Structure 1
Amino acid sequence: MRRRNVVLYVFALLLACGVIIGGFYVARAHQDRQRAAAEQERYGDVLAAARKETEAFVNIDYQDAQASIDAVAAGATGDFAKQYDTSTKDVVKILTQAKSVMEGKVLWAGVVDTDKDSATVIVATTGTVANTSTGNKPVARQFRIKLDLVREDDAWKTSNVEFVG
């Protein structure tokens, strides 16, 4: 009888250890899934912000140039926002004189690097530009753009833009 009690006690102890260890692994798996979901959401948010900024950047119509400029400025921050603001002072006049229309779309975008506060994205675009120097006929234009983004006020903003390759 005493031997049976010892066996049952050991069995209960092993079962309790198994439950504790199993609970630990279940909790860990749940945390891993939550982390992966948060990372995927961050990737999606970064790509959406980069696509939106790029689309604003490659779609400009002289008839409503200020709206195009404002769209880019809305997604900009830091030094890029300051440089963009400074460089667009005379752009409306130039776009109007040249009757410039640039239309484009994002073909693909890929996250190169990201953490919780910053990201780097490469974007490929295709589109056309038409102005007085093209005889107002659309001419194909493709761009590869590298965007650096930072998380600011719970949104991803562009802090730098570079044309690459």
Structure 2
Amino acid sequence: MSLVLFVVSLVCALVLGVLWVLAINNSSVAYAGTRDEALQQGQEAIVNFNSLDHKDIDRGLQRWEDNSTGALRDEVRKGRKDYATRIQQAKSSTTARVLDAGIVELDENAGKARMIAVVQITVTVEGQPPANKQDRYQAELTREGDVWKISGLGTVPVG
């Protein structure tokens, strides 16, 4: 009886081992990892694009530049001085957090992805109580090296 149990255990171990090796080498596992990485980095970038403190404009605008690529990065660089002036005049600060997000398209080979996100933004204007608002965004992501950056960002209308 113990020999039969040993043989059954051995066969089960071999089958599970083969299945495990196949799963590790499965391209869908790698695809899921890439998707998760793009989603996580995309969410961080969206938060950085929607969080800015008028008392530390340069650091916030540098995060915009660091988290963008392509034409969007060019736009951030070109408008940096104007953005800083408007935000300092408004004496406003924003803090964002992603409530929900997902990758809707992913092309691993091209290093491109599209994501959508629902973001809660807390706006604080000096001397006034904070106000919360929610926006929906669509972001175009482009992989630059090992990092996913925003190459396009826009709000999605509700309704």
TM over 0.5: yes
Matches within 5 A, 1:38-57: 38-57=30-49
Matched, 1:125 2:119: yes
Match of 1:19 in 2: none
Q: CA deviation at 1:72?
A: 1.6
**Counterpart secondary structure, 2:56:** helix
Matched, 1:157 2:112: no
Q: Is the 8 A contact 2:47 2:96 kept in 1?
A: yes
Q: CA deviation at 1:104?
A: 1.6
- Select the residue among 82, 91, 94 that pairs with 1:102: 94
Runs of 4+ in 1 over 4 A off after TM superposition: none
Q: CA deviation at 1:156?
A: 1.2
Matches within 5 A, 1:64-143: 64-116=56-108, 117-131=111-125, 136-143=128-135
Structure 2, unaligned runs of 5 or more: 1-17
Q: CA deviation at 1:136?
A: 2.4
Residues 89-116 of structure 1: CA deviation (Å, up to 9, x unaligned) = 2222221222111112000111110011
Structure-2-length-normalised TM-score? 0.78
Match of 1:58 in 2: 50
Fraction of identical pairs, as percent: 26
Structure-1-length-normalised TM-score? 0.75
Tell which structure's C-alpha radius of gyration is larger.
Answer: 1
Residues 69-101 of structure 1: CA deviation (Å, up to 9, x unaligned) = 111210111111111222222222221222111
Q: Is the 8 A contact 2:23 2:29 kept in 1?
A: no
Q: Is the 8 A contact 2:124 2:130 kept in 1?
A: yes
Cα RMSD after superposing both structures:
2.0
Match of 1:17 in 2: none
Which structure features the higher share of helix residues?
A: 1
